[in-house]
Amino acid sequence: MSNYTDSYEGFYTATGAATNIVLPFLPSSVEVFIQGSGAGDNWNSVANPGVVKRAWWFNGMAAGTALAVQNTNGAATDQSVFLATGGISAVEVGETTLGPPLTGSGISMANPAVVTITNHGLSTGDSVLLEGTTGMLQVVGFVFQITRTGANTFTIPLNTSGFAAAATAVVARKVIYPDLYKPSAKFVSAITSATSAVVTTTSAHNFLVGERVRLIVPDFFGMSQIDGVAGEVTAITTTTVTLDINSSAFTAFAFPTSGAVASGYTQPQIIPDSITGSSLWPQAIGAAYTSTAFRGFSLGSAVAGPSGALVLWKAYKDLLNA
Amino acid sequence: MAIITSPNTTAAAVLHSLSPILLEPPTPDFNYHMGAAHDALPAGDGNIRRFVKRENLLPTTVPLGLTEPNPQVQRDVFIDAEMKMYGTSIIFNTQVIIHNQQPMLAMGMESLGVCMRQSEDLILRQFLLSTTGFYNCQNGSNGDIPTEITYVDASVVSTILRTANAQRIFAGIPGELRIGTNPVRESYLMFANTLLQSSLDTIPEWKDALNYSEARQAGYAEMGSLANLRLYGSSQAAMINGSSANGRDVFVNLTTGRNAFFQISQDGWGMKIQYLPPEFSGPIGLNCSLGLSFFQAQAVAQSNWLIKVNCTSKY
């Protein structure tokens, strides 16, 4: 209680998606400056008309809102706007929650499958839980990391072209802060039959090479021989894990039909088991069970900056009103 | 002398008398820590607690001949958990404290204590939700994915744990000659949401804790037993609103064997209470503070000895 205000600042290069900033406190106000490229093109109406240049949020404003300044479309004139969505929120995140249900008209038979929901408001990289489908029940209960393809559509990383029929209704719910602990369990969309099985997850995983994982594969998905088997991770990409499990003689992994799972089923999963199977004393501290729960603030898609933009943020904590 | 002309609008005299009975705030049962094995990170030993697990050697079932067989390789696996610090505080204005110090501090301390116990349980809950595998109940009749829990589902879950060699947490309770009571099997521990009660009551094989042959062996929060599971209920047991196929709430009933997961504390710290008197708060000593902090880490020791059993309600 020796000072009255704490403040932090920092900058990052935007990816075009919403961003979380971790702070040692819950901020009472936040301001953001979005520069654009090194030449400051975000402040040039010709280069980036209509893009937010500065934004503010303070205690008392609703979460996800912001006061902002942006260029008027097509003119080098500042315009003050109130953003009702996609703005700034102070966040203290200790638990995973779901967003409101978004009701849509279906899921296509395609690779990747296209989900249609009018004005879904989701961004690339968001994780969504699918439920409430009419048909295509074999995707119900999965969490997928999506790619936004438009205001009313997004794709999920799953090949549904071989399914019997498209879904004619769907409900999607955003999984907010899905990875508050690492390593964490993930859904599986494919496993290869190979001397070193390659497991594909439906969203970015946080496993590391050297870690040991266990697979849960119910009979519905073929490859029941691998159910309960643990193996060591030998290689990774964002959504694949290569294991030292020889699955070449196993039954092929395949999604069941919608009718087969109509009376209930459990989805295939990959879960953490231990950090290594090596007999040496490992140094892989990165694979320790760790809480990634955080406090700080989140910048929504409207104020996080366009891809490649340099963004400066400042956050303040007013101790008098804490 | 004043004349009261409109008695209907004159307020009656109000006297305040504070009851000495302190009303209870609604506090859920904190069950998750009960299923955890407990360990402590020694002071000065860094911030990572490491566990080592020996893998079984292959049994030797072939008689020895004249030459020695090749030795086996002893494999160890390791499990690490990173310690984190948690805490919160409340501030009292000196003007309050100076008039009524002891009761105010005692009430503040009580609130902090409950907050901390709730925090450690919620941390464990979120950790287990994030890191363990699940089973969807599928033998019910409500037409949802997952369905409501049934005796068959409970039996399947018990079988999965038993087949993975998970040790049961509870010993069996033998039957006795008491009307309306039943023996209870050796059981695993399931953390259930109290909202499941109405579904459980419709299962013919459901055994309420009061119907145990020795009801006094039931735990405080124990709801009853189903197959080889004993259910401990709490209103803060995990539940995901509206996430079933048909939009029902999904109850995530973590079920565990013995020593399946660890709750790790910092040795020599515990839950530390810190009282900062007003004279340390600033130039004029306006406020005092009461804080509580603790360290906690958690680890899954046996990934196949605990399962989240997802179900919906029957109605």
Inter-chain touch A291–B84, beta carbons under 8 Å: yes
Is residue B195 predicted with pLDDT exceeding 60? yes
| Pair A72, A121 in one domain | no
Percent of chain A as helix, strand, coil, to the nearest 5: 5, 45, 50
Gap from A305 CA to chain B (nearest CA, Å): 30
| Pair A185, A273 in one domain | yes
| Pair A112, A33 in one domain | no
Question: Best of B52, B122, B145, B262 to disrupt the A interface by mutation (most A CBs within 10 Å)?
Answer: B145
Domain containing A71 equals 5-93+294-321
- Point out the domain boundary residue: A176, A205, A237: A176
pLDDT value of residue A283: 57
Inter-chain touch A271–B131, beta carbons under 8 Å: yes
pLDDT value of residue A177: 85
Q: Is B247 left (phi over 0), alpha (psi -120 to 50) or beta?
A: left
Inter-chain touch A1–B282, beta carbons under 8 Å: yes
- Point out the domain boundary residue: A132, A147, A176: A176
Beta strands B306-311 and B188-193 are: unpaired
Domain count, chain A: 3
Q: Identify which of B77, B80, B147 has the shortest CB distance to residue A289.
A: B80
Gap from B186 CA to chain A (nearest CA, Å): 23
Which CATH number covers residue A264? 2.40.30.180
Gap from A146 CA to chain B (nearest CA, Å): 18
Q: Mind listing the pLDDT tens digit for each residue in B103-142?
A: 788 888 888 999 999 999 999 999 999 999 999 999 999 9
Q: Mind listing the pLDDT tens digit for each residue in A27-60?
A: 999 999 998 766 666 676 565 666 788 999 999 9
Which residues in chain B have Cβ-Cβ distances shorter than 8 Å to A288? 48, 80-82
| Pair A71, A121 in one domain | no
Q: Is the CB of A285 inside 8 Å of chain B's CB atoms?
A: yes
Q: Is the Cβ–Cβ distance between A185 and A270 less than 8 Å?
A: yes
Residue A124 CA to residue A149 CA, distance in Å, equals: 8
Q: Which residues in chain B (160-199) have CB-CB distances under 8 A to chain A?
A: 164
| Pair A208, A276 in one domain | yes
Is residue B297 predicted with pLDDT exceeding 90? yes
Residue boundaries of the structural domains of chain B: 32-55+77-130+263-297, 133-261+302-311
Which residues in chain B have Cβ-Cβ distances shorter than 8 Å to A137? 145, 245
Q: Which residues in chain B (49-68) have CB-CB distances under 8 A to chain A?
A: 53, 55
Q: Which residues in chain A (220-259) have CB-CB distances under 8 A to chain B?
A: 228, 230
pLDDT-derived band at A2 (thresholds 50, 70, 90) equals very low
Q: Is the CB of A26 inside 8 Å of chain B's CB atoms?
A: no
Q: Identify which of B53, B131, B244 has the shortest CB distance to residue A185.
A: B131
Mean pLDDT for chain A overall: 88
pLDDT value of residue B208: 94
| Pair A212, A263 in one domain | yes
Which residues in chain B have Cβ-Cβ distances shorter than 8 Å to A96? 126, 129-130
Q: Identify which of B78, B144, B242 has the shortest CB distance to residue A101.
A: B242
Contact partners, residue A158, CB within 8 Å, separation at least 6: A112, A113, A139, A142, A144, A189, A202
| Pair A192, A281 in one domain | yes
- DSSP conformation letters of chain B: ----S-GGGSPPP------SPPPPPP-----HHHHSEEEEEPTTS-SEEEEEEEPPPPP--S---SSPPPPPPP-EEEEEEE-EEEEEEEEEEHHHHHHSHHHHHHHHHHHHHHHHHHHHHHHHHHHHHHHS-EEE--S-SS--SS-B--HHHHHHHHHHHHHTTPPPSB--B---S-TT-B-B--BEEEEEEGGGHHHHTT-TT-EEGGGBTTGGGS-TTEEEEETTEEEEEETTS-EETT-STTSPPEEEEEEE-TTSEEEEEETTTSEEEEEE-GGGTSTT--EEEEEEEEEEEEEES-TTSEEEEEEB---
Question: Best of B74, B77, B284 to disrupt the A interface by mutation (most A CBs within 10 Å)?
Answer: B77
Q: Is the CB of B270 inside 8 Å of chain A's CB atoms?
A: no
Q: Mind listing the pLDDT tens digit for each residue in B22-73?
A: 788 888 999 999 999 999 999 888 889 999 888 889 999 999 999 999 999 8
Residue of higher predicted confidence among B98 and A267: A267
| Pair A193, A224 in one domain | yes
- Point out the domain boundary residue: A153, A176, A199: A176
What percent of chain B lies above the pLDDT cut of 70? 93
- Tell me how far the alpha carbon of residue A61 is from its chain's centroid: 25
Other beta carbons within 10 Å of A284: 15
pLDDT value of residue B188: 97
Which residue is listed with tokens 């009303």? B23
Q: Is the CB of A137 inside 8 Å of chain B's CB atoms?
A: yes
Q: Identify which of A1, A181, A267 has the shortest CB distance to residue B281.
A: A1
Mean pLDDT for chain B overall: 89
